[in-house]
Structure 1
Amino acid sequence: MSGRTRLTPAAWAATLTAAGALLPLVRPVTWIFTAALVLGLVSGAGVLARRVPLARPLTVTAQAVVALLALTVAFAREQALLGVIPGPEVFAHAVELFRSGAEDVGRYAAPAPDTEGIRLMLVGGVVVIGLLVDALAVTFRRAAPAGLPLLALYSVAAGLSGGGAGHLWFLLAASGYLLLLLAESRDRLSQWGRVFGGPQRPGRRTAPASGGGPAFAPVRTGRRIGAVAMGLALAVPLVLPGLGGGLLGGAGEGAGSGDGQGG
């Protein structure tokens, strides 16, 4: 399996794990399956375009066209030409769905019902983020900057959930991003040639690497560093002082000489 072939499912998984933080906001959660399917079609289009190969901008354009066609079939089949090709009626219908979805978001508290407008907003947003992640991590081979759209997706979910998306969703999102980084790192190491993992212990066998040598020791070290980093990210905020008092706290109770009202 080539490096980009490994990166493609890693980018797909990283987007979906970050989108998992949106699951507590809407019931039922069946919209995530629609997003996974559409995003899978977009990722598959990228694989085919890179094998042709097309230029990088054309690859992203082809993926965007596939995403538009898939969303048209999912949400505006009756308004589309032949049920697939979008026209003016499709875009008008999409605008109306977005408007109704925005009204539903303001009307309902979490978990909100899975109305068609909210579903389009969720699926469309996840697909756009997934397209950006695939373009950065796979097409342009820059996995680290791909964390920015993933962070934006998780931050929106954390903000809408009223102060946080929970430790489980954080672990899922962080694990997906680390998986993407490890897949890119393994691909970069494989381009250096055969990697030796050092002397083996007596009686211990290691899995062969793609280059024919021992398993990648740097990759194993990267996994351990990632696990420690996630553990610290969860544990450190629990012991740090909050911002509920002191300089950044509420109204003061001092008796100053000014003529203010103490607020």
Structure 2
Amino acid sequence: LAVQSGVGAAARRVPLARPLTVAAQFLVTLLLLTLMFAREHAFAGLIPGPDAVRFFAELLEQGGDDVSRYAIPAPLSDGIRLMLVGGVLVIGLLVDTLAVTFRGAAPAGLPLLALYSVAAGLADNGIDWLWFLLAAAGYLMLLLAEGRDRLSQWGRVFGGAPGPGGDSPGAVAPVRTGRRIGAVALGIALVVPLAL
């Protein structure tokens, strides 16, 4: 994920067109998966060819068979490992594409929610509330960063006399209000499932 995100950051810095940025990240992801899982079937151990694609298909089929055959926790076969690593990389690419490349933090939460829901649904005793809180706080920080970015594009915010630190009260108010709304939303998200 770090390499994938780094390639995206470098491509946006060049700057490449948005589709080319996503294509570069996808290509690096494919090369990394080939290096990890199909090195023996690739050209120079890195570039996937028809043999590597066939091997990936076999591994995915094996992983699907293992998932349907074993109960949780299933043994970590190469097929299941490819499904896990590949799935996380695909979700990472979707989140990076939506949140950073196309500047839409709100829709980027959907792939994250899908990843969290699958993990929560497969766990025997559910997922600890602390992990939910950490994931939700990270998503709220993503929304806050996007909101600040959009607000800064409007120019300077005026809202009264400067405070002791030189900040205008109007400039701090949206951030403070956003934090309060986020804290209330997290509290409700933790309490309502317990009540239900």
Whether 1:107 and 2:69 are equivalent positions in the alignment is: yes
C-alpha distance in 1, partners of 2:141/2:65? 37
C-alpha distance in 2, partners of 1:111/1:224? 39
Which position in structure 2 is the counterpart of 1:56? 18
| Contact 1:98–1:121, Cα closer than 8 Å, also in 2 | yes
In the alignment of these two chains, the number of paired residues is 195
SS in 2 for 1:146: helix
Gaps of 5+ in 2: none
Give TM-score, length-normalised by structure 2.
Answer: 0.87
- Give the 3 Å change call, closer, same or farther, for CA 198–97 of structure 1 in structure 2: farther
Q: Greater relative contact order (Cα 8 A, min sep 6): structure 1 or 2?
A: 1
Whether 1:84 and 2:46 are equivalent positions in the alignment is: yes
Cα deviation, residue 223, structure 1: 2.2
Of the two, which has the highest radius of gyration? 1
Which position in structure 1 is the counterpart of 2:186? 230
C-alpha distance in 2, partners of 1:199/1:110? 61
Greater shift, 192-201 or 180-189, is seen at 192-201
Give TM-score, length-normalised by structure 1.
Answer: 0.66
Indicate the RMSD between aligned Cα atoms, in angstroms: 2.3
Q: Matched residues, percent identical?
A: 70
After superposition, where does 1:46-195 map in structure 2 within 5 Å?
46-161=8-123, 164-195=126-157
Whether 1:42 and 2:4 are equivalent positions in the alignment is: yes
C-alpha distance in 2, partners of 1:115/1:224? 45
C-alpha distance in 1, partners of 2:161/2:185? 28
Which position in structure 2 is the counterpart of 1:220? 176
Gaps of 5+ in 1: 1-38, 241-263
In the TM superposition, structure 1's runs of 4+ consecutive aligned residues that sit over 4 Å from their partners are: 196-201
C-alpha distance in 1, partners of 2:188/2:35? 44
